[in-house]
Amino acid sequence: MKIFQQSFKFLAIVSVLFFSTASFANSSTEGGGQIDTKKEVEDYILHHIQDSHDFSLFSYTSDAGERKHVGFPLPIIIWTSNGLTTFMSSKFHHNDDGHVIVEKNGLKFAKIHSKIYELDATASEVSFDKDHHAENAHKVLDFSITKSVVGVLLIGLLMFFWFSRLARQYKKKAIPTGFSRVLEPLVLYVRDEIARPNIGEKHYRKFTGYLLTVFFFIWILNLLGLTPFGFNVTGQLAVTACLAIFTLIIYTTSGNKDYWMHILWMQDAPWWIRPILAVIELAGTFIIKPFSLLVRLFANISAGHIVVMSLIAIMFTLKESLGVVGATTLSLVLSFFITLIEVLVAFLQAYIFTMLSALFIGMAVAEHDHDHAHDEQGQEIPDAEDVRGDFI
């Protein structure tokens, strides 16, 4: 009962937060805003895939023909030619094509396709060339608390709340109760199925913290992306790149002598082939491995979002050929099953990312020449560690 009360309290706080900030809801006077045509659907999906500077829950057109956006604005923090500048995203009035100019610190800013541009000193509005690139404005370094950052913060707090509670429970009892009992097997799963077999019994402990953090971070953010709040954090290249680079740094800094010898001067190959192999190995270690990590996660999650949204959009795009009922039914059935698959993909991508990270770390710390047990003829008996070493 206590847990129910707690979660109820949590829900209450969240909803109060939402609805109090929802009062910041903005109304913009720009026409349309409704999504009907194929082009609009495409734009909407692409827009969703991008990070956004405000947290919009939904929008509707009021009786007066005004487009109302319900959600809350997020702070924009940018590094401009005049230094750090901050203001709320509500100043852009949900405009995303550079028509609303915000003046701050004596500089003019516009938001075009979810990017903040600083206008040149002389310009008063953005002019576009024929490729729709801004001619008289340039992008600024954007440290804003965007929707993705909100997602990261939210998940970070949630993870801290959940797992520190699990940690505290162990002080009082051997077996956790309530929600922590669900978390414990997940922690054990990552430790026993991902960290231990891939890194090896001797070194796994040191890296398990990172792997656990990354696993739950990706998994929960992937799942959050499936909620109607419309987060797409793990579908941001910057986020996946950051994760991949963390893994790269960890396996590069913890690599042992064997590992570097294997990369730079392959022992088993003829000498003239070794430099060529070194180039290939270096490329594999520093470019291919992190790229495979970052692109796989980014592409899978983005693709999932695009597919689910496209299937939902069948409701509008096929309305004329199938009728309202037909299009809606088709859309619901298809998007339901794809969402089920996406739930699986959410876990799978977190698993694959963590697994591959563990594997790369395991390759870097594997010991190929350690003491072996000897049989009676004095020959070495290969143990499991060797087999693993040969395999990876």
Residues 6+ apart with CB under 8 A from 122: 136
Cβ distance to other proteins smaller for residue 160 or 286: 160
Distances (CA, A) of 256 to 150, 195, 365, 371, 383: 38, 18, 6, 17, 20
DSSP 148-210: HHHHHHHHHHHHHHHHHHHHHHHHH-SS--THHHHHHHHHHHIIIIIIHHHH-TTTHHHHHHH
Contact between 128 and other proteins per CB under 8 A = no
User: b/e string for 24-49 if b means 16 or more Cβ within 10 A?
Assistant: ebbebeeeeeeeeeeebbbeebeeeb
Using CB under 8 A as the binding criterion, the count of chain residues that bind other proteins stands at: 46
- Residue 239 Cβ vs other proteins, minimum distance, rounded to whole Å: 5
Cβ distance to other proteins smaller for residue 33 or 156: 156
Contact between 153 and other proteins per CB under 8 A = yes
Distances (CA, A) of 82 to 79, 86, 108, 118, 121: 8, 12, 11, 11, 12
Cβ distance to other proteins smaller for residue 184 or 193: 184
- Residue 157 Cβ vs other proteins, minimum distance, rounded to whole Å: 10
- Residue 31 Cβ vs other proteins, minimum distance, rounded to whole Å: 27
Q: Which of 13, 14, 167, 324 binds other proteins (CB under 8 A)?
A: 167
Backbone angles phi, psi at 75, to 5 degrees: -70, 140
3-state helix/strand/coil string of 6-34: HHHHHHHHHHHHHHHHHCCCEEECCCCCC
Number of alpha carbons in the 13 Å side-chain half-sphere of residue 147: 25
Quick note: the x/- pattern for other proteins over 287-326, rule CB under 8 A, is ----------------------------------------
Cβ distance to other proteins smaller for residue 33 or 75: 75
CA atoms of 338 and 335, how far apart (whole Å): 5
Which residues in the 177-196 window bind other proteins by CB under 8 A? Answer: 184, 187-188, 191
Q: Which of 102, 239, 315, 363 binds other proteins (CB under 8 A)?
A: 239
Tokens at residue 146, please? Answer: 């965007």
- Residue 238 Cβ vs other proteins, minimum distance, rounded to whole Å: 4
Contact between 241 and other proteins per CB under 8 A = yes
- Residue 303 Cβ vs other proteins, minimum distance, rounded to whole Å: 13
Which residues in the 65-84 window bind other proteins by CB under 8 A? Answer: 78-79
Contact between 358 and other proteins per CB under 8 A = no
Contact between 361 and other proteins per CB under 8 A = no
- Residue 332 Cβ vs other proteins, minimum distance, rounded to whole Å: 30
Query: How buried is 104 (Cβ within 10 angstroms: 0-12 exposed, 13-18 middle, 19+ buried)?
Result: middle
Q: Which of 174, 325, 381, 387 binds other proteins (CB under 8 A)?
A: 174
The footprint of other proteins (CB under 8 A) covers 50-51, 78-79, 115, 141-146, 148-149, 152-153, 156, 159-160, 163-164, 166-168, 170-171, 174, 184, 187-188, 191, 205, 208-210, 212-213, 217, 236-239, 241-243, 245-246
